[in-house]
Amino acid sequence: MNEVEELLKNIDGQFKDVVGVLIVDRDGIIIKSTINEVVETIQNYGMSIAQIVEMSNQALKENGEIQFLRMKTKRNEFIVVPDKEFMLITILNANNPSLSHGQHALSSN
C-alpha cells in the first residue's frame, strides 16, 4: 500500500487548491486519505459521491459505466475516477483565492 500512499501524496502536493485525496469503496467508505483528520464532512463527501456515481450509472446505464466525473459546487470541486471496487476522489477548493494552501476550510496535509 506504500505506492498508493505515495501516489495520493503526489496528487495532493501537485496543486495548491487540493484539499485532499481519498480512496473510497463503492459505498463511499474511506479506505485511504491524505487528510489526517477524517472529519464527518469528509466521510460525507465519500458517501455522497459514491451515491452520485451509483445513481449516474443507473440513470445512464445504456451508456456504459461512468469513467470520469468532475463536479463543481460553490465551495468545492470534486474529481472522481471510479474503478470496479474503489473510487479515487480528489477534493479541491473552488474559487477561494483568499485561502492559501494549508489554511482552507478543511484541514489537509
Spatial contact of 87 and 81, defined as CB atoms under 8 Å apart? yes
Rounded to an integer, what distance in angstroms lies between the CA atom of residue 58 and that of residue 66?
10
How far is Cα 6 from Cα 12, in angstroms, rounded to an integer?
10
Q: Closest approach of Cβ 75 to a second copy, in Å? A: 5
Nearer to a second copy, 68 or 102 (CB): 68
Q: Does 100 bind a second copy (CB under 8 A)?
A: no
Spatial separation of the C-alpha atoms in residues 7 and 17, rounded to whole Å: 17
CB nearer a second copy, residue 4 or residue 105: 105
**Mask for 58-87, x = binds a second copy (CB under 8 A):** -xx-xxxxxxxxxxxxxxx-----------
With CB under 8 A, what is the number of residues at the site for a second copy? 25
Separation between Cα atoms, residue 52 and residue 12, nearest integer Å? 23
When the beta carbons of 14 and 41 are compared against a second copy, the nearer one is 41
Which of 5, 48, 58 lies closest to 28, judged by CA? Answer: 48
CB of 35 to a second copy, least distance (A): 16
C-alpha cell at 73: 459546487
Summarize as ranges the residues that interact with a second copy (CB under 8 A): 41, 45, 48-49, 51-52, 55-56, 59-60, 62-76
